[in-house]
Amino acid sequence: MNLSIKVDKLALKYLFKITDCPGNQIQVQCGSGCPLPTCQNPNPQNQICPAFCRTCVCPTNTVLNGDNCVPLSQCPVTNPPTNNCPGNQIQVQCGSGCPLPTCQNPNPSNLVCPAFCRTCVCPTGTVLNGVNCVPLSQCPSTTPITPP
């Protein structure tokens, strides 16, 4: 006697805890709730991550591109982000709201800083001179403000 058993795919998923991951993502028991690295954001900022278990992730040394995981070198080429800062200031995601060091005030007091994200800053080791960042040694010879 030949018995044939018809198995429902949903029942198999339930019994064996099979999860369909999109693309070539791999299944894990409980991955981080933090954002996955992507072609657009290969190094997501450290942050407080949602408390949930992600079950589909990209294999090591790959990033998400749509539903598929690819090596970063295979990400589509995109135009670099536009720097909307004046002069030679650099753009950051969220810098301090404290005053920027300037030629006139190279060491501003940071007692209480406004609660906002500054997006244009000077690179480390430089101060603001007008709209440009320069090494302090290249500031015009003026008497700097000394904090009280």
Ordered by start, the domain boundaries in the chain are 15-74, 90-138
- Of 100, 103, 148, nearest in space to 121 by CA: 100
Read off the tokens for 136. 């302090």
Find out whether 27 and 21 touch, Cβ atoms under 8 Å. Answer: yes
Ramachandran bin of 39, using left for φ above 0, alpha for ψ from -120 to 50, beta for the remaining angles:
alpha
Find out whether 142 and 104 touch, Cβ atoms under 8 Å. Answer: yes
| Side-chain half-sphere CA neighbours of 108 within 13 A | 16
Q: What angle do CA 29, 30, 33 make, to 5 degrees?
A: 150
Statement: 90-138 belongs to CATH 1.10.1900: no
Per residue of the chain (148 residues), give pLDDT as tens.
Answer: 544 455 454 444 444 445 578 989 998 888 777 888 888 888 776 666 777 778 888 898 899 998 899 998 898 876 666 677 888 888 877 777 788 889 998 888 766 777 777 778 888 889 999 999 999 999 997 655 555 5
Q: How far apart are CA 103 and CA 142, in angstroms?
A: 8
Q: What is the CATH number of domain 15-74?
A: 2.10.25.10
pTM > 0.75: yes or no: no
Domain 15-74 and domain 90-138, same fold? Reply is: yes
